[in-house]
Amino acid sequence: MSALIRGSILGSPVEHSLSPLLHREAFDFLGIQGEYLRNEVTLGAFPSFFEENRDSFNYFSITMPLKEEALSLPVVLDPLVHRIQSANTLYQREGQWHLTSTDGSGFISALRHEGHQSFDRVLVLGAGGTARAVVGALDGVAGEINVLGRTSTRRDVLEGAVRTSTFEYIRWNDYPNFSEYDLVVNTTPAGAADLLADSVQSGSCNLLFDVIYKPWPTVLASRWSDSGGKVINGLELLLYQGIQQLSLALDRELDELALATHIRPILRKAVR
């Protein structure tokens, strides 16, 4: 019997991605027949891969380094994708392929399920595709959004993702004043924010959302927790953005909390 739904994670490298485990566990929990694969797709190879495989899949999860290249595909682009210039999801709907991002909405869901609805001041570490999705999602949720980035070339795209909140781009330094923010979001690659741990002061840090989940804990997350601050693990972003991808592929609402509760311990065990 052929699979009812077929998906895959695309990017490079993807051999250690937890997305196949997440989506397969979701299939089992929902009682649907499905198949979810890994496909190594390098920068520049995405258009040809998509053309050759578009009729064989229902949806694709997109990871680095393809989140920007995806915007060049001959598909329907969600207005959100235009705004943040980053995408992580391709899905079919009535024979037409659509491109969107669940990184930002998954990030907000993870915060909401931890009891956080709004913020006064937020600092985002990093200026890549995930940062743009996070900044776009925080627009209107945070009064002020600051981004700490290494290059000013990404400032305009980040600022373009914000329409309601106050925005400021800050050139990277190793001693930010974390106590000024009620939320800090680390979107940098593993190890890139390690030196910032020296800026964490005991009793003056609030909430850290670190999108990294392996290796865990990061140096920054460990110092943050030891200093009395609350930390949200990157597995939470992986969980909710993946569940929302499946919701789009199935074209139906899913119980995010129930799915996350079931899948979370399985993912945690996989990264130990």
Positions marked active-site: 67
**Alpha-carbon distances of 5 from 135, 140, 247, 263, rounded to whole Å:** 32, 35, 12, 19
- Two tokens, residue 52: 């050759």
Dihedral (Cα; 232, 121, 103, 212), 10-degree rounding:
-40
Angle among Cα 165, 169, 171 to the nearest 5 degrees reads 160
Helices 256-270 + 103-113 axis angle, to 10: 100
- 157 CB-near residues (< 8 Å, 6+ apart): 84, 85, 132
Give the residue among 256, 257, 253, 208 at the shortest CA–CA distance from 234: 208
Dihedral (Cα; 257, 61, 90, 237), 10-degree rounding:
40
| 62 phi and psi angles, rounded to 5 deg | -115, 125
For the chain, the distance separating the N- and C-terminal CA atoms, rounded to the nearest angstrom, is: 35
Residue type at 47 in one-letter notation: P
Give the residue among 268, 123, 89 at the shortest CA–CA distance from 210: 123
- 1 CB-near residues (< 8 Å, 6+ apart): 33
